[in-house]
Amino acid sequence: CVEDEGIRPETYLRLMDELGETAPNVRSNSDIKRRMSGSDHGAVTRPTSARQSPGAAPWLRDTRSPHHGRSPHNAGHDYSRAERRLEPPATPPWIRRRPADRFYPNGFRDPRPLFNEPQTQHVQYPQHTQYPGYGQPPPPGPESAQYGGYHDYSQQARSYEQIPPPPPPDSEPMAPPPPPSDMVHAKIAPSLLSSDFARLADECERMLSLGADYLHMDVMDGHFVPNLTLGAPIIECLRPHTKGFLDCHLMVSHPEQWVDDFARAGADLFCFHIEATTDASALIDRVHALNMKCGIAIKPKTPVASVIPLVHKLDQVLVMTVEPGFGGQSFMPECMDKVRELRAQFPDLDIEVDGGLAPENIEVAAQAGANVIVAGSSIFKASSPRDVISLFRKTVNDAQPTA
């Protein structure tokens, strides 16, 4: 009967419970429907209240019949549960309502994101500040939980990343970079073996101030060569006192046992003799793994073919123009054939020559293709070391082929 009349069973039971207290004799479906539709004209009319006044708030205004939910026995009371349920104002557009809002003791809405919402940081706006509007940056000042307020779940109110504006265009367009050149440049490396060892740090800084590019450190162990000079401890003590490029030429036996020491000492380039090792390729890889450049040196009697297969892994090749072990020896021009062969096959390779270089023979080395010049006595014993370094640099650069 209830379903035929279109009344939901739970509504019927609720109305039966409510009507049972005030009108126990009313039990028919038609009476129930009449009371639900507000067409019960037999009830006593309640005086107009604030809920029925035209000036009342929209959600408080009673839009139903004044007789709805009342009877002659309770004319001044309204027992309709539906009428007691006041509708809240419309949700502001910047607050995204959740299916079930959970409020925490600190006054914030549940911070968990909505379904499929990106996990991004939300902006908390204090209650006493005005919402800046869509597409605007958040208000300045601290935005923390001590001000209270709601989480803003709108996509426009995310934390905005302040992207700096692009720089203004230059009045004149920048010139394109010059094309890469195959030309190698001169690098002058005074040999500290001819310096004053009592003032080694000062001598290094003096050479750099005169225009030197490298500081050539001759390391001898007294075994591979008959002389004994400085080692890794001196390099380590010198490193804090100079920013120069320490080109360490190791004339030692078993150079692989000194790689770690020179890396800790601060050497920039580790150059070993190919005659002193049995596995040069593995040693090159180890030197590079310790963030040092690597070079290979060959004696005057060692053929250049022994180093050519390894050039692709090297940063520099040193061609000795004197027998290693002592300074002040005479330049050996017959070694320039090795330099010419290396330059013909590797135009971009740094080729270093060491031994007997002076202003009178620098032209021969430069024309052969050497670009890294090691000189000791001719620089340190010159009346003007600056002029000698400048002469070496100009001669080498003038002899290099242009791009």
| Unique residue bearing structure tokens 């502001």 | 92
**CA gyration radius, the chain:** 47
The C-alpha angle with vertex 90 and arms to 85 and 92, in degrees rounded to 5, equals 145
- Burial string for 292-303 (b: 16+ CB within 10 Å, else e) reads bbbbbbbeeebe
Is 354 assigned a catalytic role? yes
Q: Which of 95, 151, 92, 89 is nearest to 126 (CA)?
A: 151
Question: Measured in whole angstroms, how far is the alpha carbon of residue 386 from the centre of its chain?
Answer: 43
CA 352 – CA 285 distance, rounded (Å): 21
Please report, for residues 186, 271, 341, 381, the alpha-carbon distance to residue 393 in angstroms, rounded to integers and kept in the order given: 5, 22, 22, 18
CB of 187 closer than 8 Å to CB of 389: no
Starting at the edge strand found earlier in the chain, the sheet holding 245-251 runs 187-190, 372-375, 350-354, 316-320, 293-298, 269-273, 245-251, 214-220
Q: Which of 218, 221, 247, 350 is catalytic?
A: 218
Is 218 assigned a catalytic role? yes
The region that residue 165 occupies, defined by phi over 0 for left and psi between -120 and 50 for alpha, beta otherwise, is beta
Q: Where are the beta strands (DSSP E) in 186-306?
A: 187-190, 214-220, 245-251, 269-273, 293-298
**Which tokens sit at 275?**
């005659």
Please report, for residues 47, 50, 75, 90, 311, the alpha-carbon distance to residue 60 in angstroms, rounded to integers and kept in the order given: 16, 9, 20, 13, 91
**Which tokens sit at 87?**
């509708």
**Which tokens sit at 278?**
């049995």
Q: Which residues are catalytic?
A: 218, 354
